[in-house]
Chain A
Amino acid sequence: MHSLWLIPIFPLVGFLINGMLGRRFSKTVINTVAVGSVVLSFLWVLKALSALAPLNETYVEHYFTWISSGTLDIGFDFAIDRLTMVMLLVVTGIGSLIHVYATGYMAHEGGYYRFFAYLNLFMFFMLTLVLAANYVLLFVGWEGVGLCSYLLIGFYFLKKSASDAGKKAFIVNRIGDFGFSLAMFLIVISFGTLDFQKVFAKASTISPEVQYGSITTICLLLLVGAIGKSAQIPLYVWLPDAMEGPTPVSALIHAATMVTAGVYMIARSATLFERAPIAMDVVAYIGLATAVMAATIGLVQNDIKKVYAYSTVSQLGYMFLGCGVGAFSAGIWHVVTHAFFKALLFLGAGSVIHACAGEQDMQKMGGLMKKIPITFAVLFIAAMAIAGVPPLSGHYSKDAILMAAHARAPWMYWVGVVTAGMTAFYVFRSIFLTFFGEYRGKAHPHESPAVMWVPLAVLAVLSLIGGYAFNIPEFLSPVLPMHGGVHDESLATIATAAGLAGILLAAICYLFVPSIPGALASAFAPIYQTLYDKYYVDELYNVSIVKPIANGSREILWKGADVGVFDALVNGAGTTSMALGGLLRKMQSGNLRTYASWVLIGILLVMGGFAVYGGAK
């Protein structure tokens, strides 16, 4: 036994300590507990991994039978294989860095202990999700991270927009979770188990389906769950709003870890998806569409965190594309590199916001290069990485996905390349607007303290070398077979060129000829406005779904059904019950002789019963 359970338990203990007693603790104690517990997890992951290397087989720890119902047995089991190992390292490694950063970022915020308690709780659920050896336990983590996401988005709960954003995230995720639950039911019906190894063993004896079948349905339902959690079309709307949460939360939950849970879940279920070609296609289409759509929105946003939020949605689309074309390991590779550079982008953005005293509008920044040089340096690296500039991390994973897409259908590759160009453009737009030119704000920008920039520096190094150093697809080859994606130099060069072109274009528009963006915006005003208003999707949902449901609930369900029918029924039942209760109370006179007579009557009844049923035989 390698006591895998310790990995999630450390943060859980941290949550319990800080959550219950944190109010009375000094910040130093809270920091030690919160950061220490996550670092302990990270160390325990390293220890377990070194003990388990090279981990060619899945290693399972069974703790106890959790649910046993008829033939269905669900164990409280943790399992670790190479895929889990990658995720564990990302979650605990990046998690540790972000916890450290947060001690600096949140230093002046109220509810300090609450923040770190939630953050630790999130780590607990995320690690449970990753370590789970069956769908149910994964679902526990899945729901748990959703809860923590809700709590942390609405951390500034006195601000209405923050609490609304929290609710939106929660409700939108319910739709996905509903799909996930249905998928689990169907898995039980089809395979009689929810254990990963058993499900996949049974599934691999089935030849790949061509038409709609139960595996296709299962995969599509799983996909619905993944779409909700990983913010894909049509359920992506919650993620941009989730930026209402503190920036370390955006970095940890809404960029590096939780939102990639959908990708992880699909990769985990690769055996099923490989047998459901139609579902695979749907994954690829949704991913690609989301990548493009979110990138176009990102082109014109002015809030620095919104830009990166749409960028996250777009990059998650890439990961889905990778999984959908069969390159699951490329998708996971992008999960890893994206965790590096997107966490860095968010934390860097946090540093910028911190420096500008809470300002998030890039129109009111500029010229920060000299004032916060470290932040500038690390953000620049992150931007290069996401733009796919070789040899930075993003270059490798993005290439792997695009190659696989080309092998599946060349047009997907080309759409992906255009998106890569747009990605480079909007990311460098944010860099140029923030750090170059003249400062347009009113605050007095200052560099962040060391606890904030040291994690940034580590992430910057990872973003620099993370792609070259960690060849994830090769590492994952025993778990996730790599499909297609023969490396083609000319295709790679085109993709890189698209990224560089995007950077160049951004430089022209925002450094050299600053009049271009305004001119373009007014020349193509309808398009610009549509993009700026995010294709009016929120408004569309509001009119087509939210309003009808709200009105229907109020007029029909509440005033009609609830008040008119159910309340009346319940009140009637209540009155009747009470009357019956009163009658029964009269049995209880307190008089012994009455009681004795009751007993006597009872005896006659019981004996009569026996006589009747005995005689009937």
Chain B
Amino acid sequence: MPANFMPSAAEYFRFAPEIILTIVGTLVMILEAMTGDRDKSSLGYVSLLGLAAAMAAAVAANNDPGLAFQSMIIVDGFATFFRVLVLGVGMLTILVSTNYLSEAKANSGDFYALILFSVVGQSLMACANELIMIFIGIEISSIASYILAGYLRDDRRNNESALKYFLMGSFATAFLLYGVAWIYGLTGSTNLGEIRTVLSHGTAPTAMVGISAALMLVGLAFKVSAAPFQVWAPDVYQGSSAPISAFMSAGPKAAAFAVMVRVFYTSFDSISNQWEPVFWIMSLATMVIGNFAALQQRNIKRMLAYSSIAHAGYVMVAVTSHSAVGTAAVMFYLASYCLMNIGAFAVVTWMARDGEKFVEVDDFSGLAQKQPFVTAILTVLILSLVGVPLTGGFFGKFLVFKAAIDSHLMWLAILGLLNSAVAAYYYLRVLVVMYFREPGASTVNLPPVAGTLRVAMLVTTLGTIALGIFPGLILGFATQSSTLGK
């Protein structure tokens, strides 16, 4: 047993965001029990404050980067970036949800607590430096997400979604854990740095190392919905409530990518000749399946689900490039992706209304005449999803493909660009419908845009524009942090 078993104050400080979130989450559950039948929106605001405090703690922790708890936790720029990102996703999700939940008469502290706990898991994933920690983070995040997917328990679609998500998720996590067991057996460690050191000696049998890496990749690929492990995503996103789809498509995905980059760039660095070709094929397959399947979708949630698969494919391209530029691209892309995707789901949340009756693309017909504000918001977000310049989506794609070209993945870059041209078709159809069709039944009695939802829409849209015009805002930090602390 190491001499310094008792953690120092600095180590607790590095772990403060997770501690804060856990306390606030528990507090929210207690408050829920104490507040009886009153309106629970205030619990949402408490949760927002908790997330904000955790974000401040995450930023503060970055002033003193380093390891904690016997190297199980690592705080570096990369971890901080993803911590702030998933915390931000949590805040936006709450802003999108409160009004939706009140309408559905399901506003409750449990919901907010579950969001907080899920974010704890993602935050842990962002700063885990050890395979067991990663597994625990994934499980904390996932179990909360499974419940959230079925949160409206009287809704048949929610139930189906939750069950599918749970079964498929458990299936995939099992493979991850199996991979962890293999690698422990091979190297005698679960610490990412130590695994790296052992593997770099080249004494471990290559084939077996490959199998353990493959098993872990399967688990992570499931979480980021990379092909061929994306089949669950469309069903789950379509079946869950729109705010939850927003959350699931952003936070867990970003955290899983953080883990993927850290594990493969750190531990499996020495066998990159094995995994790079597999990533190459997976990223291409993910882009193709996401984009082409989205072409035929009429349901906007399902379309966004496929689109989020396609975006995972673009991020995979950056991961495949296996370089500092690629890491920075992953970070930037996920930040802008989270903004635009949550923004788009926020609009869907507003449009769908109670019971989610209006979730077809055609339901947006003539929206420009009826609700110019929301139309403008969705226009910007969709242009960003397409990757039109002056939006964050453009710079994300630019950086991803630049990273690919820098790493001599010319063909992957070309095929990826062709894919993004295909994507323009299904995205722009939404714009066509909004601007050039006559309003139909879905745009009669449009609800007002609730204050919190409006804030979420504005933050995501302005953030998207800001990233498009001033990418330096976060690109500088991403570039600095792209050499992971090892």
Contact = CB atoms under 8 A, between A and B. Distances in A.
7 contacts: A64-B473, A68-B475, A585-B296, A603-B218, A610-B210, A611-B210, A613-B278
B235 interface: yes
Interface string A592-612: 100110110111011101111
Interface string B217-249: 110011000011101101100000000000000
Given A596-B171, A613-B273, A613-B278, A606 B217 contact: yes
Interface string A568-599: 00000010011011101101101010011011
Nearest to A594: B231
A611 B295 contact: no
Interface residues of A, number: 36
Tell me whether chain A's interface is mostly helix, strand or loop, or mixed: helix
A613 B164 contact: no
Interface stretch (B187-195, B286-294, B453-461): B286-294
Interface string A273-291: 0000000000000000000
A65 B278 CA distance: 37
Residue from A76, A599, A601 whose CB has the most chain B CB atoms within 10 Å: A599
Contact of B168 (A68, A581, A592, A612): A592
B34 interface: no
Given A65-B476, A596-B171, A613-B273, 16 more contacts: A66-B470, A68-B475, A574-B425, A577-B292, A578-B295, A582-B296, A585-B296, A599-B171, A599-B231, A602-B218, A602-B221, A602-B227, A603-B215, A606-B221, A613-B274, A614-B206
Contacts of B292: 577, 580-581, 584
Interface string B388-430: 0000000000000000000000000000000000100100000
B49 interface: no
A599 B164 contact: no
Nearest to B302: A588
A581 B210 CA distance: 33
Contacts of B222: 599
A163 to B, nearest CB: 22
B409 to A, nearest CB: 15
B440 interface: no
3 shortest interchain CB distances as A-B pairs? A602-B228, A610-B210, A581-B295
Contacts of B227: 602
A526 interface: no
A577 B422 CA distance: 8
B229 A588 contact: no
A584 B218 CA distance: 21
B144 interface: no
Interface of B: 164, 167-168, 171-172, 175, 206-207, 209-211, 213-215, 217-218, 221-222, 227-229, 231-232, 234-235, 271, 273-278, 281-282, 289, 292-296, 422, 425, 470, 472-473, 475-476
A159 interface: no
Contacts of A585: 293, 296
B245 to A, nearest CB: 16
B228 A610 contact: no
A615 interface: yes
Contact of A65 (B277, B295, B422, B472): B472
A160 interface: no
Contacts of B275: 610, 613
A68 B281 contact: no
B293 A584 contact: yes
Contact of A602 (B167, B211, B229, B294): B229
A617 interface: yes
A599 B172 CA distance: 8
B294 A610 contact: no
Contact of A592 (B167, B214, B228, B234): B167
Interface of A: 64-68, 76, 574, 577-578, 580-582, 584-585, 587-588, 590, 592, 595-596, 598-599, 601-603, 605-607, 609-615, 617
Residue from B221, B281, B292, B476 whose CB has the most chain A CB atoms within 10 Å: B292
Contacts of B164: 592, 595
Given A578-B296, A596-B171, A614 B281 contact: no
A65 B175 CA distance: 44
B295 A603 contact: no
Nearest to A607: B214
A617 B296 contact: no
Residue from A590, A592, A602, A607 whose CB has the most chain B CB atoms within 10 Å: A602
A588 to B, nearest CB: 6
A609 B171 contact: no
B278 A606 contact: yes
Contacts of B214: 603, 606-607, 609-610
A612 B214 CA distance: 12
A62 to B, nearest CB: 12
Nearest to B276: A613
B296 to A, nearest CB: 4
Contact of A613 (B277, B425, B475): B277
B472 A609 contact: no
B168 A596 contact: yes
A614 B210 contact: yes
Nearest to B402: A69
Contacts of B210: 607, 610-611, 613-614
Contacts of B172: 599
Contacts of A598: 228-229, 231
A610 B296 contact: no
B69 to A, nearest CB: 32
Contacts of B168: 592, 595-596, 599
B231 A581 contact: no
Contacts of A64: 470, 472-473
A574 B234 CA distance: 23
A603 B282 CA distance: 12
A68 B229 contact: no
A66 B207 contact: no
Nearest to B207: A614
B476 A599 contact: no
B293 to A, nearest CB: 4
Contacts of A76: 470
A243 to B, nearest CB: 33
Given A595-B232, A596-B171, A603-B218, A610 B293 contact: no
B214 to A, nearest CB: 4
Contact of B235 (A588, A601, A603, A609): A588
Contacts of A580: 292
Contact of A617 (B213, B273, B470): B273
A577 B295 contact: yes
A581 B293 contact: yes
A386 to B, nearest CB: 42
Nearest to B289: A584
Contacts of B293: 581, 584-585, 587-588
Given A609-B214, A610-B210, A588 B296 contact: no
Nearest to A598: B231
A450 B360 CA distance: 60
Residue from B210, B217, B218 whose CB has the most chain A CB atoms within 10 Å: B210
B391 to A, nearest CB: 15
Nearest to B164: A592
Nearest to A64: B472
B8 to A, nearest CB: 37
Nearest to B233: A588
A585 B290 CA distance: 10
Contacts of B209: 614
B229 A611 contact: no
A238 B168 CA distance: 66
A587 B207 contact: no
Contacts of A587: 231, 289, 293
A585 B238 CA distance: 14
A147 to B, nearest CB: 14
B438 to A, nearest CB: 25
Nearest to B168: A595
A582 B298 CA distance: 12
Contacts of A602: 218, 221, 227-229
